[in-house]
Structure 1
Amino acid sequence: MTLAPEVIAQLADELADADRNHGVITRITARHPDATIEDSYAIQGLWRDRMIARGRHLVGRKIGLTSKAMQRATGIAEPDFGVMFDDTVFATGAEIPVDLFSNVRVEVELAFVLKQPLEGPGATLDDAIAAIDYAVPALEVLNSHIELEGRTIVDTIADNAAYGAMVLGDVRKRPDEIDLRWVPGVLTRNGEVEETGVAAGVLGHPATGVAWLANKLALHGARLETGEIILAGSFTRPMWVSRGDDVVCDYGPMGMITCRFV
């Protein structure tokens, strides 16, 4: 790491304030151009620990930037991850307050719930599939507290990988019940199709990201635990949403998700 502990603590405080006030801060890399990915995960980790100390409960982790569509959309060429808390989980049909978030966008994803721990290093796709209890369709609501223009992966990781919330569908499938690579997503806003894709766009198979995350966490002395929800990464570009927008995503054999931003 290149940043001093007091700088990491200051940046974690700024992001916590931005989260509380739904604001945006100046890019970390504009102020600290030598900041590394290790610095950004240290900032995220301190922010996470402070959220837990305030009473929030960790329910899982998100993986981001796992598809070419998302990498091209952001200009960032490697995956990242963040954490998800229980107060950020919505069910299909929900009304979602826009004012909870900054720079609000939606992505089409699959989420996985684990039936057993998954630990790296060396975790494979087969290991991930064996650890998955079921898949469920999900929309991720992006929430960026750092100015978007010019941001790098360091900025994004520090900002909890831009995670805001997720909306879960109500159709669950075990990995042996469906070919997860070919789950489709047709995303509409106010009745107009905006984005389409298939889950194979996520690293060739959406569960590949689960193995990647287990191996990444091993570098930080952690593992994926039983019952965790893993949001596997988008297979469409992000779609901007505003107050009053009705959002629907059709996942074919895995049903539909609906929500309205209010």
Structure 2
Amino acid sequence: MSASSSDRAALIETLGDELHQALVARAPIAPLSGRCLGLTIEDAYRIQERMLSHRLAAGERVIGKKVGATSKAVQSLLDVHQPDFGLLLSGMLYNTGETVPMSRLIQPRAEGEIAFLLGRDLVGPRLTVADVLASTDWLLPCFEIVDSRIEAWKIGIVDTVADNASCGVIALGHAARRPREVDLELCGLVIEKNGDVAATGAGAAALGHPANAVCWLANTLGALGVPLKAGEIVLSGSLATLVPVAAGDCVSMTIGGLGGCSIRFS
């Protein structure tokens, strides 16, 4: 290994360790993109891998994957203009109605999404939306509580990718529907915070159709030799803008034809 590649590997390890420590200490760090010029998206995914390696070594396991930055509303809000992906770990999972302690989070925001529960492997590239729907056993309403380990959400694409696509925790609804039972493009979303409407959206916000987002993910990962596996949860991206949350808040949502989900923060 050359000196330059060795230095690069050391930098990636250092930044991944920094992000993990930020998560543990709930102390955000300065944007990576502003401190380390020349970081590529490939570097960022390697930093993400290093960050998550600490959690996996501590006993968590991969339960799925997520697509981020799929809607125009979220892209505009975060100034991130292309999708990214991250891993879902067992320690991130909550069920509807449960309470998330703020001691786990730094600067959380709620996203209303549709979760795809896969019944068989999706191995890209060259997959189609039809392949995605045929491989999906169930759809569930889902809150992803995104959270950034970067100060004040001052992120670019490299920052959010390195930070596991800004994933915090997820909450799954109990209602499950077969893909054919839901109009994924036109289904409407309403999010309420403490009883007031906080955001609205529709399925088409996620790259035109939530299954498009899952297809993009399967093909992107497939080109890297990584499948989406049977039994995994795949989050297809936010259907509306992000809703900031704090201790004492309760957020709930309904998705037309699919059902609802709620979660509290303490």
Q: TM-score range by the shorter chain?
A: over 0.9
Residue 64 of structure 1 is matched in structure 2 by 68
Q: Output the CA distance in 2 between the equivalents of 1:102 and 1:112.
A: 27
Deviation at 1:255, TM superposition (A): 1.8
Q: Which runs of 5+ in 1 are unaligned?
A: none
Residue 123 of structure 1 is matched in structure 2 by 127
Residue 198 of structure 1 is matched in structure 2 by 202
Q: Output the CA distance in 1 between the equivalents of 2:195 and 2:165.
A: 29
Deviations 1:160-209 (A, max 9, x none): 00001111111111111221222221111111101001111111110111
| Aligned 1:15-164 pairs, distance under 5 A | 15-148=19-152, 150-164=154-168
Secondary structure, counterpart of 1:126 in structure 2: helix
Q: Output the CA distance in 2 between the equivalents of 1:147 and 1:221.
A: 33
Aligned positions, number: 262
Q: State yes or no: 1:243 paired with 2:247.
A: yes
Moved more, 120-129 or 104-113: 120-129
Deviation at 1:151, TM superposition (A): 1.8
Deviation at 1:226, TM superposition (A): 0.5
The TM-score with structure 2 as length reference comes to 0.95
Deviation at 1:43, TM superposition (A): 0.5
Deviation at 1:149, TM superposition (A): 5.1
Secondary structure, counterpart of 2:24 in structure 1: helix
Residue 217 of structure 1 is matched in structure 2 by 221
- Structure 1 segments, 4+ long, off by >3 Å, are none
Q: Is the 8 A contact 2:116 2:235 kept in 1?
A: yes
Cα gap change, 1:55/1:149 in structure 2, threshold over 3 Å: closer, same or farther? closer
Q: Output the CA distance in 2 between the equivalents of 1:209 and 1:33.
A: 30
Q: Which amino acid aligns with 2:191?
A: L
Q: Output the CA distance in 2 between the equivalents of 1:219 and 1:38.
A: 13
Q: Output the CA distance in 2 between the equivalents of 1:108 and 1:196.
A: 9
Deviation at 1:252, TM superposition (A): 3.1
Quote the RMSD (CA, aligned, Å): 1.4
Q: Output the CA distance in 2 between the equivalents of 1:148 and 1:44.
A: 19
Moved more, 46-55 or 68-77: 46-55
The TM-score with structure 1 as length reference comes to 0.96
Q: Which runs of 5+ in 2 are unaligned?
A: none
